[in-house]
Structure 1
């Protein structure tokens, strides 16, 4: 449960300004924290910090590792400051686009400079920080680093296509590969150390300025991940270690054939017998990285939709009961103060609501969903809110506020919106009215995507669900960063009792 009335900004790390093609844990992140503190904000919400894969369109929700961090977020500037690189090592750098992340180019450039940092690390002698990090994280790090090295060794092939003895994790074969790939394994371990070192420092800086970080955990993992390769028994797989069923959502008003996500489904009965050990470890890891964390597609803990593997649409799936209260009672005993935010968008069933009420988890409301024909009774309309929730103008999966108004809202939606705020406004004013509605609502937390604070149009959208290209690329320019209306935000924060 969120106890303190406050507000914050949604902005993923990758969207920060940077001369290295992608936002990172470097100077711009610290300037953002200073800006949030100046504007009397309490929260900085980000997307998952897990590694991304170009094969999965660089989505942070389709990661090869539920426990590792995205090493592309390591700041070259901080590597120079901390002595892992020299300034000359950063040149020549490509001329990266200012507004978009081109992941392939970023990965190529950073791999080059990371290789230099790694070689310098190897010749610098023992480092206490690295040894402590390894000792504390070996329980997940050993297999994570091995998986990364094996993926490179087998030229990106899905783990199910590796040689049988490695695919099946025969101990002798794994030990042989650990010896053969020792250098690649240690390099990945070193990069994970750098990412953790920089993120921990940034977290401490946030805490020192009264900013809590809200993280994000995708409920499902990618099939081509260390998590499935390492733990095939906790997923519904056949004798060939292929999924028998996969995740998705059924047809609805937005998609006639539903959404076929393709993630493997957990064997919740087996996990229950094991005390949900894998999930306990995952929540513990999240607690190390974030102050609070949102669980994406929270509904699946109550009931989830599974589709037969091999289907090309989600039309023939079935609903299955999830682990429900038993799962969260185990977590509550293990983590008495764990702070979960439930992504409960879509059809909110009585079973989902029971979990929210029983464990005090705040849900989410989206203002862009409020102005349809059902406005008076809409759960997303501020007059229907309860305090224990987070109100957003929109999320990473929505259009921006201005983009919604200019491209998606019908004339009837616009008239209802005008009637609700009591006046007609131009497209370039819509975002401020929505932020004002969110901030003055009874919701204890109000989160505004940075795009909506800046009043940007649809070109600044972060993700188009069910599409596989052009997503996760938006970046804020230095000019936009410098021009953010912080004084207006601060005044509204104080006025609405959130500061």
Structure 2
């Protein structure tokens, strides 16, 4: 019987748990009938560090820049956010997942930000500043002429930044009395550890004509030196403006979180493992990165090796961490970063989880990622530090792609739920780990993410073999594949199912949010208030019923 059990049980960890339960019930006899080493090993299997994803639920993926409105980009206004949250409530959705909230730079990617702590000023609702008489209604007219169906970042940059600085000038002229989100001075004091270097970085960058910080004069090349320079004092007012923008962002985002909490909706944030080279984090903490201590130039950069999809690999260019330096102070910078993330969100997805196990190190200046090599990351020690400092934190591991056994072991030792993408499941055979029958409860299932095409767009461009596999596996005609994927995600064993808003809206490739490797045209998609209204009226009742049938939401009262 035992040999048959060994042959038929295939789920990782199931066998260990079964042996442990057997040993605990028959402890004395067990140790005499089976090898002592096996008995001991079963008793010493450590419990996972985290174990938070216990209940079934569903959510939606939608970055706030996609919210509707007439300011050229989605902003943190109650008028835009409340209808969206009302849809979630009506549909029985408990989670709202977003991309990183940081201030974007060249390329407009939320995964390449000027700070790992700051918020994106583009998201600030300027109507609040009109109500406070820091701006006039006429000031907003140029923004209101921008497209509403997509974001034109070039025009947005030209129009919104001058309005933000104009509002700050009015704030100063009025004696700095604006206190809608609490006292500005209190905010500065509470966030000083990251706010001061970030604000100074942005102000000095403006003074240097936008150049990367390693091209600045030596006296301001690093934060520790810049603080002592006359240049630092010259940009003090400009730096205060950038701090004021963060005060506005944090105040408005906290109001959004309160609206979500009223509806029992939790927000899933996103923390890219790496930070931008040209950002305040590296400038203010050079000792924590693999860069030249004098010039600031990176020594090695991040990426991934060649694979089936890319013969040259992917050369990201982010500076790599000096993990030994992080370990010496107990990963203090990372803990501060996670605390900041958890002030903004209830749950945090850690992007590129595998980099904590091993990361691809590419010599700076290499033309492709081919010349890199695998290096060891901090491993379990990092997550033990996180569990000790933040025992109640809720994290998700982005563990997509080809994973070595050591990465899988690290994920299992941490207990963090991993990710499954249904679009990756088809076209092969029954062993594909992303097929619904191969999933595990401690995971999050998605039809696709921000980096994928919409389900409808993906299916339309898939080869005939893949399309046939989808139809046969899901037992559908393929005529309404977006909803077929939604039903498959809801029915999957994964405790959390998250669906992009574009799929709920049955949109095609025109609504794709990001195409990795494509330099332009990303992060622009926005939905209309009318389309959301139609979704709430026509589909929310069905989604709630589907959630009840699959155990992802409690039955509606009454």
Match of 1:177 in 2: 231
8 A contact 2:268–2:349 mirrored in 1: yes
- Is residue 96 from structure 1 mapped to residue 146 from structure 2 by the alignment? yes
**Matches of 2:317 and 2:288, distance apart in 1:** 16
**Matches of 1:388 and 1:215, distance apart in 2:** 18
- Is residue 420 from structure 1 mapped to residue 470 from structure 2 by the alignment? no
Indicate which of 220, 245, 249 corresponds to 2:304.
249
Match of 2:457 in 1: 403
**Matches of 2:256 and 2:350, distance apart in 1:** 22
| Alpha-carbon RMSD | 1.5
8 A contact 1:5–1:497 mirrored in 2: yes
Shift of 1:112: 2.8
Match of 2:367 in 1: 312
**Matches of 2:58 and 2:468, distance apart in 1:** 28
Aligned length: 493
Match of 1:459 in 2: 510
434-443 vs 416-425, which moves further: 416-425
**Matches of 1:199 and 1:168, distance apart in 2:** 30
Give unpaired runs (5+ residues) of structure 2.
1-51, 554-558
8 A contact 1:47–1:216 mirrored in 2: yes
Shift of 1:84: 4.4
- Is residue 115 from structure 1 mapped to residue 170 from structure 2 by the alignment? no
8 A contact 1:178–1:185 mirrored in 2: no
SS at match of 1:483: helix
85-94 vs 329-338, which moves further: 85-94
8 A contact 2:143–2:160 mirrored in 1: no
Shift of 1:76: 1.8
SS at match of 1:319: strand
Match of 2:347 in 1: 292
Shift of 1:396: 0.6
Residues 209-248 of structure 1: pairs in structure 2 closer than 5 A = 209-238=263-292, 239-248=294-303
**Matches of 1:47 and 1:77, distance apart in 2:** 24
Indicate which of 168, 186, 191 corresponds to 2:245.
191
8 A contact 1:89–1:116 mirrored in 2: no
Q: Deviations over 1:281-305 (max 9, x none)?
A: 1111111111001011010001110
Shift of 1:173: 5.7
Shift of 1:323: 0.3
Match of 2:82 in 1: 30
Structure number with larger C-alpha Rg: 2
Shift of 1:19: 0.8
Shift of 1:174: 4.0
Shift of 1:43: 0.2
Match of 2:549 in 1: 495
Indicate which of 95, 101, 109 corresponds to 1:49.
101
User: 1:171/1:414 Cα in 2 relative to 1: closer, same or farther (>3 Å)?
Assistant: closer
**Matches of 1:243 and 1:93, distance apart in 2:** 38
**Matches of 2:225 and 2:204, distance apart in 1:** 15
Shift of 1:88: 3.8
Match of 2:527 in 1: 476
Indicate which of 381, 395, 401 corresponds to 1:340.
395
SS at match of 1:91: helix
Indicate which of 371, 378, 382 corresponds to 1:323.
378
Indicate which of 1, 15, 39 corresponds to 2:91.
39
User: 1:240/1:93 Cα in 2 relative to 1: closer, same or farther (>3 Å)?
Assistant: closer
Match of 2:192 in 1: 138
Shift of 1:358: 1.8
Q: Deviations over 1:172-219 (max 9, x none)?
A: 764522321122111111110000000001001111110000000110
**Matches of 2:226 and 2:515, distance apart in 1:** 44
Indicate which of 107, 119, 142 corresponds to 1:69.
119
SS at match of 2:449: coil
Give unpaired runs (5+ residues) of structure 1.
none
8 A contact 1:24–1:75 mirrored in 2: yes
User: 1:82/1:441 Cα in 2 relative to 1: closer, same or farther (>3 Å)?
Assistant: farther
Match of 1:162 in 2: 216
Shift of 1:241: 1.9
User: 1:170/1:337 Cα in 2 relative to 1: closer, same or farther (>3 Å)?
Assistant: closer
**Matches of 1:81 and 1:321, distance apart in 2:** 53
Shift of 1:92: 4.0
User: 1:92/1:370 Cα in 2 relative to 1: closer, same or farther (>3 Å)?
Assistant: closer
**Matches of 1:172 and 1:317, distance apart in 2:** 34
17-26 vs 194-203, which moves further: 17-26
8 A contact 2:226–2:232 mirrored in 1: no
SS at match of 2:69: coil
Q: Deviations over 1:19-74 (max 9, x none)?
A: 11111111212221111111111000000000001x2x101101111111100000
105-114 vs 456-465, which moves further: 105-114
User: 1:50/1:169 Cα in 2 relative to 1: closer, same or farther (>3 Å)?
Assistant: closer
